[in-house]
Amino acid sequence: MHIALVQPDMVWSDAGKNREMYSRMLQDMTLQADLIIFPEMFTTGFCTDPAPVAETMDGETIRWMRDTAVTLKTSLAGSLIIIENGLYYNRLIYMDPQGNSGQYDKRHLFRMAGEEVSFKPGSKPYIAGLGKWRISFQICYDLRFPVWSRNRNNFDLLVYASNWPAARSDVWNTLLRARAIENQCYVAGVNRVGTDGKGIIYIGESMVIDPKGNVVASRERSAEGLVHATISLDELNTFRNKFPVWKDWDKWNLV
């Protein structure tokens, strides 16, 4: 499977301009991707005041994602601010090439920025099927919680759509590799660059990591652009069979 990670410098709180930017970036793609992944809150930047920028599930960004997926014959994923029944969610949308969608609401809300004040947390993981691949989608701060991220022999690729600040770059790099190793899966971490409307600096470091913890594709620091990676389910299963750590994983259920 070929995946493309989009590492942008977003326009603060302007969904229209960001959609235009992404359209230009995707038009310039030289390789066909089976899955294109955007960062967290990819139309606004990490905004904890949701009311002015929230969209609905039939809003402009969802329509843009559907049209883009169908036109490019690919799957798309990224999170945005959604209002539903009067509540706000940091919601990742997965859109397949036929225009069908699935969703994941961020479980762990970043209280150090007050995200938990305005947003409702999710209550269950989301795993999408893409061909023979099983893909678990999570969002940013979820990366710090290994129990929530735990593989129960139910996914092959673990995705983190993020707005992860440069100040915690070492944590980002360490935890992405840890999640890949402990779950015997590929991990894709997608992050932004630039400075947001609150003055927070981001340096990207979007990357794909294999189940042994090796970085197989990445983008240079602070550079806009795409990260392309081809990952192999056969190679993953060969490694899992040769080194079956998964047989000794502890068994428990999420509450």
185 is catalytic: no
Q: Among the options 115, 140, 185, 205, which is catalytic?
A: 140
106 is catalytic: yes
Q: Among the options 47, 106, 115, 205, which is catalytic?
A: 106
The three-state (H, E, C) secondary structure of the chain, written as one string: CEEEEEECECCCCCHHHHHHHHHHHHHCCCCCCCEEECCCCCCCCCCCCCCCCCECCCCHHHHHHHHHHHHHCCEEEEEEEEEECCEEEEEEEEECCCCCEEEEECCCCCHHHCHHHHECCCCCCCEEEECCEEEEEEEHHHHHCCCCCCCCCCCCEEEEECCCCHHHHHHHHHHHHHHHHHHCCEEEEECCEEECCCCCEEECCCEEECCCCCEEEECCCCCCEEEEEECCHHHHHHHHHHCCHHHHCCCCCCC
Positions marked active-site: 40, 106, 140
